[in-house]
Amino acid sequence: MKIGKLTLGNTPKIAAVIVDGEDKKAISAAKRDGADLLELRIDCFKKRDALYIQKTIKDIKAVNLPVIVTIRSKAEGGKAAISDSDRLGLFETIIPFVDAVDIELSSSKILKDIISQAHRFNKKVLVSYHNFKDTPEQKKLEAIIKNSKKAGSDIVKIATFARDKKDIIRLASLTVSHENIITIAMGRLGVVSRLLFPTLGSLVTYCSVTKSSAPGQISLKDSKMLLEILKEA
């Protein structure tokens, strides 16, 4: 599995989350501190007109890191309330300029169109599920994976809030049972998952460069250091 020229699956990969396309210091820091790829959270950008985003992405690509782009829905943690039609229009405009897109399984009105458009340009698709309240039972998690694959995902991403250790164990079991998956346990108890799950097969761990974009997200520098220690252990 590749995103751009980056091969996933051999060793844990780190995605730096960029919440402001004009924050050149954060983008430079991501490159300097060892990020393997960038996730652009367009829903967090101050400006979201198509031409601005196209130019911003072209500038960001100059750091020579693969780029995943998402316009997160408000229902799954997006900062701005953007209509499905506007999200679809933005995705269609920027897909040719990025290496992968992330779209929620719950965005059923636009899911098929975005996957089709991304694959037409040979871009990878992450179909994602975010739950900031709890971690569903195994049966529902398996159904999410099945439905994501059926929709045409290349990678399934599941990020859920961990209320207890059983939630961590459930997500860990899911990780080792499936290929081409990204799993994250959010919240205080879930911090360990951002280091543990990549060693179990989760393709990417997400880290902050400036401010955290999800509960329990840790900094790029700390993630890089700790993953290196685990690799050498």
Active site includes 157? yes
What DSSP assignment string belongs to 50-87? Answer: HHHHHHHHHHHGGG---EEEE---GGGT-SS---HHHH
Name the pairing type of β-strands 37-41 and 155-161: unpaired
Active site includes 130? yes
One of 13, 123, 124, 157 is an active-site residue; which one?
A: 157
Residue 6, sorted as left (phi over 0), alpha (psi -120 to 50) or beta, turns out to be beta
| DSSP bridge pairs for 219 | 208
Whether the CB-CB separation of 44 and 56 falls below 8 Å is answered with: no
| DSSP bridge pairs for 103 | 127
State residue 129 phi and psi, 5-degree precision: -135, 125
One of 13, 123, 124, 130 is an active-site residue; which one?
A: 130
Whether the CB-CB separation of 96 and 103 falls below 8 Å is answered with: no
Residues acting as catalytic residues? 130, 157
